[in-house]
Amino acid sequence: MPAQKNTAVPSRALLAVVNAVPSVLWSALALAPIGAYCYQFVARPWLYGFLAISMLAYAVPTSWFNYWQLIQQPARYQQLGVALVNRVTQHGDLVKHFIRRRYPAYRHVPSRAALAALVRTTYHQERFHLVLLLFFGFTSLHAVAHRQMGWFALLLLTNVGYNLYPMWLQQYLRVRLGPMFP
């Protein structure tokens, strides 16, 4: 008797929980330092100003993101380590591996409609991280202006890891999907 294939799919709740783990972990690691710095050293008017200016990035048209595309070849993103970042993010390689151990038929992008939704999501994610990139940047400049170089280094490091690389990841995903999605 031939073995039956497991065609079951995971529930939305399971997918949400599994994908929340890396998001919560990375957010806690990145937001704790900036939260501590802002609470201790940034006067509220400055904080609100940094937030307001950063939030203006939500008004940037989606089409502009294509002009800011760093590179057009996936291999260049891989050289920058972006593919490694994709391993430890939501819907990343480790999450997919974990889900596929129990649900081998699982595919994050099972249809053309899901592919279109994924492309839209990449723009949303890139915009979100652009807002935070600006906020972290303004806060880092505040640390420099107040000669707090240790804080500056920590905020810069978290900005690169939590915002710049995720922005590159969204671009990388769109470049990889480019041939499949006009």
Task: Determine the distance from the C-alpha atom of residue 14 to the mean position of all C-alpha atoms in its chain, rounded to a whole number.
Answer: 20
H/E stretch holding 16: helix 12-41
For the segment 17-33, what is each residue's pLDDT rounded down to a tens digit?
999 999 999 999 999 99
pLDDT beyond 60 at 4: no
pTM: 0.89
How many Cβ atoms from other residues are within 10 Å of residue 174's Cβ? 18
Report long-range pairs for 29-32 (Cβ below 8 Å, ≥24 apart). 29/158, 29/162, 30/158, 30/161, 30/162, 30/163, 31/162
Spatial contact of 41 and 146, defined as CB atoms under 8 Å apart: yes
Backbone angles phi, psi at 104, to 5 degrees: -60, -25
For the segment 51-102, what is each residue's pLDDT rounded down to a tens digit?
999 999 999 999 899 888 878 888 899 999 999 999 999 999 999 999 999 9
- Which pLDDT band holds residue 5 (cuts at 50, 70, 90)? low
pLDDT beyond 90 at 43: yes
Residue 13, classified by CB atoms within 10 Å of its CB into exposed (0-12), middle (13-18) or buried (19+), is exposed
Enter the tokens of residue 91: 């819907």
Rg, C-alpha atoms of the chain: 19
For the segment 135-181, what is each residue's pLDDT rounded down to a tens digit?
999 999 999 999 999 999 999 999 999 999 999 999 999 998 876 65
What pLDDT was estimated at residue 89?
A: 94
pLDDT beyond 80 at 2: no
Spatial contact of 126 and 134, defined as CB atoms under 8 Å apart: no
What pLDDT was estimated at residue 3?
A: 52
- DSSP designation for 158: H
